[in-house]
Amino acid sequence: MEYLNEMTDEQLALSYIDGNNKAFDLLLSRTQSKLFTYIMFVVRDPDVANDIFQETFVKVITKLQQRKYTNSGKFSAWLVRIAHNVIMDWYREQRSERIVEPTEGNDLSNLNSELLDMNVENHFVNDQVLRDVRKLMDMLPPTQREVCYMRFYQEMSFKEIAEATGVSINTSLGRMRYAILNLRRMVRDHSVVLEME
């Protein structure tokens, strides 16, 4: 078991594919907390999050056993992509009216380049501001909340977000743009003061 602890997540996945069940146990223990936190942040319901978490790992096991995983990137990004797909399937089944998507023909050529270039992470240094922003993020539509969570809490690049959510980079950027605009509106409408020290 000690040699397994030295393996990367990707190596553990490949070891499980080769029949080592202990490799999967370790992989699960390494990833379950982060994955559940992501799912819970998106769906905001513990019972639903538990169901989605279980379904995600059933799909992960199935795909691994069918040898549909190759060590072509980060295992965690592959895992998040599967979870994202399960979440989207759940939303489709619920026919949730809360999902707000930009139009298919969303033209991003008019985006303010400062909006895309600004280093948003610098605005979240202060812990209190981070808590306030998180409360505001909870009020965003699920797709916008998801891209914010992936970007700021999981520190994923927009390319990784696009791959994990199965959309183009422009769509990921568009969702972030809408999220930022909505957050600014909520700050203004609710007279929230976000002061950095």
10-residue mean pLDDT profile of the chain (197 residues): values are 85 91 91 92 89 91 87 85 90 62 52 43 49 80 88 83 89 87 82 59
pLDDT for 158 equals 85
pLDDT for 65 equals 87
Q: Read off the pLDDT of residues 94-138 as tens digits, 9 standing for 90 and up.
A: 764 444 455 555 554 444 444 444 444 443 344 566 677 778 888
With tokens 């089944």, the residue in question is 93
Q: Measuring CA to CA, which residue among 35, 179, 171, 70 is closest to residue 120? A: 179
Q: Measuring CA to CA, which residue among 131, 156, 186, 170 is closest to residue 79? A: 156
Q: Which two tokens stand for residue 51?
A: 């169901």
pLDDT for 129 equals 62
Which class for 153: exposed (0-12), middle (13-18), buried (19 or more C-beta within 10 A)?
Answer: middle
pLDDT for 39 equals 92
pLDDT for 112 equals 46
pLDDT for 101 equals 53
> Is the entire prediction scored with pTM above 0.75?
no
pLDDT for 11 equals 92
Write down the H helix ranges in 66-168. 75-94, 113-117, 127-137, 142-148, 158-165
* Strand, helix or coil for residue 8: coil
First to last CA, the chain: 47
